[in-house]
Amino acid sequence: MDRRDFLKTSAASAIVAGAGVAAPAVWSPAKAQARQETLVIVSESGPNNIDIHGVGTNVPGYEVSWNCYDRLISHEMKPGPSGVPYYDRDKFKPELAEDMNVGDMSATFKLRKGAKFHDGAPITAKDVKWSLDRAVSVGGFPTFQMKAGSLEKPEQFVVVDDNTFRVDFLRKDRLTIPDLAVIVPCVLNSELVRKNATEKDPWGLEYTKQNVAGGGAYKVVRWTPGTEVVFERNDEWTNGAMPKVKRIIWRMAPSAGNRRALLERGDADISYDLPSKDFAELKDNKKLRIVSTPFSNGAQYIGMNVNKPPFNDPKVRQAVAYALPYQKIMDAVLFGLAKPLFGAPAGKPTDVSWPQAHGYNTDIEKAKKLLAEAGLAGGFETTISFDLGFAGINEPLCILVQESLAQIGIRCTINKVPGANWRTELNKKEMPLFTNVFSGWLDYPEYFFFWCYDGSNSVFNTMGYKSAKMDSFIDNARKSAAIGETASYDAAVKGFVDLAFEEVPRIPLFQPYSNVAMQTNVDGYEYWFHRRLDYRKLVKG
């Protein structure tokens, strides 16, 4: 899609080249004022589902849910490492709730009076309960996310009256309150969804896959999968300051060159998944505002299926860890826009933090020796898979890994998985070798490890890794954190980090940066744990 095609419009209709979709009227010069009130976003891929509770909802889908639904509470902001506001993991503010009272074993919320869903129906405590009941019952990612904060049973969620809602705690857990501020415990219009539910689909997941049933600051007025999402401001929203931007047009433009050209010509306002090379060059020319922020609690990694040969052998996994081309990836793929998570000095004490660097570095001879000790001196054939929705990083990374592993006899075929299918394929746990990113929404080491290494977790423990020792370390860290036992907490965190690096079911490569390019007249960008845009604070000059 070139600039002329992207902008082409007329009073009657317009067609986006190659897509066959009518372009919105905001592109007409006669609509200059509307263009000032419209923010245009371009990205590599878009949502496959606009319900965070849906099966296999991808990362772009998080952005829709965040802006179209409310939660009881949200985070306060603080100054961030990149000079932009950054969510404060330990401080909260009201959203749908106007007041929160946290007791010893429960938390009570007073809802804002007058709050309404998009269809005008009042938001009541029964909607909050139904929504949280749904989150802990649908299974998969939403239910595990709730479990991460010890939110596990519908009985925990109590309607006190129409405007009062209570959460009873199963146990002391410092992650419970933070877990109420993530994307999953959003509040849905229970009556609307139930009207569109069926016996086979009691939670209405098919309906909400394509229809917003919320009361948030924005509404989806058009969604053409793979092409665009168009949002309009909900002018009846009362759960925060009214957003300045009236309309958001989020366009999918798979070509990185097109996305960059649209930004440089002023035809797009924001893009956040350009290749690192482009971000590095754009930083230098200073025509756009570029913000780079390390992913909170996040790492890109190489994962291995530990339940099937040959990656069920720790020596094979260690051989891969010594064969990876870490520095080449940093230089040729990331252009320095990431934090290395490899090559820690020998003997360096383990930190009580995450992410942190492991001691592996590129050592082909050591990798060959380990592979021979595993009885695979001649190597083997395998497949390395990646999410095509984020090909800008993943594809060159996998090519470099393919070339490096070939030096020790591991012959890889690259498997490109369409972004809309990635979560589903990942959760099957059948891919032998793959790259992926995980960034923990709650910025605590034990939260990351609960998701990624706990043997009971069927979602983001993508390697199928199970270790009673690992599970014990994670459990002890969570219990110690809940009651403030610092020494036992520190020991548990060091224990699970050391074990993860010894058995390497996944090999951390780097802590990615969230790179966002925007026009200089765009302000209000904030970094959030989910790394997606919060439209409510954005302002266009």
Mean pLDDT within 86-92 = 96
Residue 524 and residue 532: Cα distance in Å, rounded? 13
Whether residue 303 contacts residue 505, with contact meaning beta carbons closer than 8 Å, is answered with yes
Average pLDDT of every residue of the chain: 92
Smallest CA-to-CA distance from 66 within 87, 85, 86, 51 is with 51
- DSSP letter at 231 equals E
Smallest CA-to-CA distance from 308 within 446, 490, 431, 456 is with 431
Q: What is the pLDDT of residue 5?
A: 40
pLDDT in tens, 261-296: 999 999 999 998 788 999 999 988 889 999 999 999
pTM of the entire structure?
Answer: 0.88
Q: Which DSSP helix (H) or strand (E) runs through 290? A: strand 289-294
Q: What is the pLDDT of residue 12?
A: 31
Measured at the alpha carbon of residue 148, what is the angle toward residues 143 and 150, in degrees to the nearest 5? 90
Domain boundaries, the chain: 29-67+216-269+519-540, 70-192, 298-513
Residue 479 and residue 58: Cα distance in Å, rounded? 31
Q: What is the pLDDT of residue 273?
A: 79
Per-residue pLDDT band for 61 (boundaries 50, 70, 90) equals very high
Q: Which fold has domain 70-192?
A: Dipeptide-binding Protein; domain 1 (3.90.76)
Whether residue 381 contacts residue 411, with contact meaning beta carbons closer than 8 Å, is answered with yes
Who contacts 134 (Cβ-Cβ below 8 Å, separation ≥6)?
53, 142, 188, 203
Whether residue 417 contacts residue 425, with contact meaning beta carbons closer than 8 Å, is answered with yes
Helix (H, G, I), strand (E, B) or coil at 540: strand
20 has a pLDDT exceeding 50:
no
21 has a pLDDT exceeding 60:
no
Residue 209 and residue 192: Cα distance in Å, rounded? 14
Question: What phi and psi, each to the nearest 5 degrees, are found at residue 456?
Answer: -85, -10
Structure tokens at 97: 């709730």
Q: What is the pLDDT of residue 29?
A: 53
Whether residue 385 contacts residue 433, with contact meaning beta carbons closer than 8 Å, is answered with yes
**Quick check: do 29-67+216-269+519-540 and 298-513 share a fold?**
no
- CATH match for 29-67+216-269+519-540 among 1.10.760.10, 3.20.190.10, 1.10.357.10, 3.40.190.10: 3.40.190.10
Who contacts 341 (Cβ-Cβ below 8 Å, separation ≥6)?
299, 355, 356, 357, 358, 508, 509, 510, 511
- Residue 103's CB: how many other CB atoms inside 10 A? 10
Using CA atoms, how far residue 179 sits from 95, 493, 494, in Å, is 14, 20, 24
pLDDT in tens, 113-132: 999 999 999 999 999 999 99
Per-residue pLDDT band for 82 (boundaries 50, 70, 90) equals confident
Q: What is the pLDDT of residue 286?
A: 86
pLDDT in tens, 444-461: 999 999 999 999 876 799
Structure tokens at 422: 């990635």
- Residue 497's CB: how many other CB atoms inside 10 A? 21
9 has a pLDDT exceeding 50:
no
Per-residue pLDDT band for 46 (boundaries 50, 70, 90) equals very high
Query: CATH class for domain 298-513?
Result: alpha beta
Mean pLDDT within 324-329 = 98
Q: What is the pLDDT of residue 1?
A: 38
